[in-house]
Amino acid sequence: MTTVVQVSNPKGYRGLYRFHKYWGKKPFEPIAFIIESLTDQDEVVLDPFVGSGIAAREAARIGRRFIGIDLNPIAVQLSKFLVSPPTVDVVREGLEEIKKQVREDIEASYTRIDENMVAMDYLWDTKVDRRLVATHYLWDNGTLREIWRAKRGSKRKVYEPTNHDISQFKKYENYQPRHIRLPKFFDNSRINTSTDLHLNDLFTGRALRNIDLLIEAIRALPLSVQPVFELCLTASIGQMSNMVFAITGRGKTEGKEPEKIEVGSWVIGYWRPELHFEINVWSRFCIRTKRLIKALEKSPFSLPSHQLTDDPIQVLHDNARVAIVHADAFATLNQFDTNCIDLILTDPPHGDRVPYLELSEMWNAILCNNVDFEQEIVVSNAADRRKGLNQYSTDMNKFLNIAADLLKKGGFLVILFNAGKSEDWQYLHSFTHQESSKSSLEYLGHFPVPYSARSVVQDSRQGSLKDDFAMVFRKPGADDTTSDRVRNLQSLDGWSNTFPTGKGE
């Protein structure tokens, strides 16, 4: 049982929850606590915006049936993976097979010539001398500044670029990927995209060529294994891009001399800093896959594959435990009978805070996933998408009314939400204070859900959002047997019967 302390002080993401980035990911502790508190064994939990899949895994892990829906293909693939991950042996064997197929070819593209060694010409039959394989290239406004060979536990070696290094780069400069679809970007300055943004702006030609090789090797694996390694690739793809910034000023604020340049990370959006790293594609893929192996060793739960379906009706009829559905939420929810769900727990789009499909487009392009931007519920800063506040509020009101119809009497709706703009709260405020009707829910109160990721992803500026609010609604029933369930939530720090004012309290 998750404790009250764990809910109020969630730890940073770890294990399988740390394996893959996803936008707006929430800590698992409050998710688990809500499910444990408001449902019993075998009851049905629904998340129509399943996102990172944390609710899916936590519900399945503690014996609840679960239905998750998402329009984002990468969210669906990640959720299925979290519910039914592979064995450690499967991942180890798959990595070894990929290594045999492409490691030599990829690392050859990063080979230096060291005057103190006999150069190994990768164009011939000799194997790559790994003492000569670079791991990092520091680029400054289009100029190659340094080359590193960095190995964990050892001091990195830094080299001056040579003509050979430049020719290695130029060899792939105009490479056009064969296995990656053209991404669809919009004019959205908030996430630094435009309609003329291309893959070759985000990656070097060398990186794209090597990513192609990885995709070929992944597609040669058995079909059942391919999705796992596709996630390993997308989980590491940001660190293969031109968006890995160089940290140069660490120590300045404490009055210290700045330390050496350090490797940053891909954070959010599509910002391409002038001073950035190009990192060896094989090393990033291998490191991420080995991280997955370690996480699997410490994460024993895995739902049997035959209990995972893409048909939610099978879960409602108790013929499967978990359904993860790639679809528009409304189209799927309209298939359900009324009064069939025990708990709806969801983290819906928060106005314009996270344009999920736009931010995920790089992942979906890598995997050639088709994306339905038109059906996304969101407020987008891309004017050509015509995703404004009025349509967003209409869609969210529609969802809330459908949710009220789907809940059983005595069932619960818990929405995780926060936004800095008062107008983004309007649909929730209106629904909470509407006159009683057959579809209305009783508002019980809310509690804060702190963010757990202590990283540059979290905004530390004054006045920024520090947590979300879990707002709890109940569908009135013939009796009050659900009151004991609510008491667990009311014991949490920060519980209030009032409606949140937004942006922290």
Same domain for 281 and 166? yes
Handedness of CA 162, 163, 164, 167 (dihedral sign): positive
Predicted confidence (pLDDT) at residue 436 exceeds the cutoff of 70: no
- What whole-number distance in Å separates Cα of residue 313 and Cα of residue 132? 56
Amino acid letter for position 139: W
Strand ranges of the sheet holding 442-450, from the earlier edge strand across to the other edge: 308-309, 322-326, 65-70, 44-47, 341-346, 407-417, 467-474, 442-450
Predicted confidence (pLDDT) at residue 180 exceeds the cutoff of 60: yes
Q: Which residue has the higher pLDDT, 123 or 265?
A: 265
- Give the pLDDT confidence score for residue 8 in this predicted structure: 83
Predicted confidence (pLDDT) at residue 124 exceeds the cutoff of 50: no
- Give the pLDDT confidence score for residue 480 in this predicted structure: 60
pLDDT in tens, 327-342: 999 999 999 999 999 9
Q: What is the DSSP string of 251-275?
A: TGGGTPPP---EE----STT---SE
pTM of the model: 0.92
- Please tell me the least confidently modeled range out of 11-15, 198-202, 441-445: 11-15
Beta pairing partners, 138:
146, 277
- Give the pLDDT confidence score for residue 479 in this predicted structure: 64
- Give the pLDDT confidence score for residue 122 in this predicted structure: 42
Whether 450 maps to a domain, the answer reads yes
Same domain for 291 and 408? no
- Give the pLDDT confidence score for residue 202 in this predicted structure: 97
Domain boundary among 257, 276, 297: 297
Q: Residues 323, 309: contact at Cβ < 8 Å?
A: yes
Domain boundary among 249, 274, 297: 297
Predicted confidence (pLDDT) at residue 505 exceeds the cutoff of 70: no
Phi–psi pair at 388, nearest 5 degrees: -100, 180
pLDDT over 90, % of the chain:
77
Same domain for 143 and 158? yes
- What whole-number distance in Å separates Cα of residue 447 and Cα of residue 499? 10
Same domain for 20 and 155? no
- Give the pLDDT confidence score for residue 255 in this predicted structure: 53
Predicted confidence (pLDDT) at residue 483 exceeds the cutoff of 80: no
Q: What is the DSSP string of 457-481?
A: TS--STT---EEEEEEEE---SS-T
- Give the pLDDT confidence score for residue 439 in this predicted structure: 52
Same domain for 73 and 96? no
* Mean local confidence (pLDDT), 12-19: 89
Predicted confidence (pLDDT) at residue 19 exceeds the cutoff of 90: yes
Predicted confidence (pLDDT) at residue 299 exceeds the cutoff of 70: yes
Same domain for 306 and 408? yes
- Give the pLDDT confidence score for residue 456 in this predicted structure: 42
What domain range is 344 assigned to? 4-82+302-354+391-490
pLDDT in tens, 46-72: 999 999 999 999 999 999 999 999 999
pLDDT over 70, % of the chain:
90
Whether 119 maps to a domain, the answer reads yes
Strand ranges of the sheet holding 136-140, from the earlier edge strand across to the other edge: 157-159, 143-149, 136-140, 275-279, 244-247, 262-263
- Give the pLDDT confidence score for residue 414 in this predicted structure: 98
Residue given tokens 């009064």 in the structure block: 339
- Please tell me the least confidently modeled range out of 96-100, 102-106, 255-259, 307-311: 255-259
Predicted confidence (pLDDT) at residue 321 exceeds the cutoff of 70: yes
pLDDT band at 9 (very low <50, low <70, confident <90, very high): confident
Which DSSP category does 133 fall into? B
**What is the H or E stretch that residue 135 is in?**
none
Whether 375 maps to a domain, the answer reads no
- What whole-number distance in Å separates Cα of residue 192 and Cα of residue 141? 17
- What whole-number distance in Å separates Cα of residue 181 and Cα of residue 183? 6
- Give the pLDDT confidence score for residue 2 in this predicted structure: 82
Q: Residues 186, 382: contact at Cβ < 8 Å?
A: yes
Whether 154 maps to a domain, the answer reads yes
Same domain for 152 and 77? no
Whether 126 maps to a domain, the answer reads yes
* Mean local confidence (pLDDT), 14-32: 92
Whether 498 maps to a domain, the answer reads no
Give the CA count within 13 Å in the CB-facing half-sphere of 95: 22
**Mean of the per-residue pLDDT values of the chain:** 90
43: domain CATH number? 3.40.50.150
Predicted confidence (pLDDT) at residue 114 exceeds the cutoff of 50: yes
Whether 442 maps to a domain, the answer reads yes
Domain boundary among 297, 317, 343: 297
* Mean local confidence (pLDDT), 487-492: 92
Whether 160 maps to a domain, the answer reads yes
pLDDT in tens, 243-269: 999 998 765 555 555 568 999 988 779
**What is the H or E stretch that residue 199 is in?**
helix 199-202
Same domain for 172 and 315? no
Q: What is the DSSP string of 162-196?
A: -HHHHHHHHHTTT---SSSPPP----BGGGTB-TT
Same domain for 134 and 18? no
174's CB contacts (< 8 A; 6+ apart) are 205
How far the first Cα of the chain sits from its last, in Å, is: 28
Predicted confidence (pLDDT) at residue 459 exceeds the cutoff of 90: no
Same domain for 16 and 158? no
- Give the pLDDT confidence score for residue 462 in this predicted structure: 45
Same domain for 205 and 334? no
* Mean local confidence (pLDDT), 22-44: 94
pLDDT in tens, 131-170: 899 999 999 999 999 999 998 777 899 999 999 999 999 9
State how many domains the chain has.
2
Same domain for 343 and 478? yes
pLDDT in tens, 348-393: 999 999 999 999 999 999 999 999 999 999 999 999 999 999 999 9
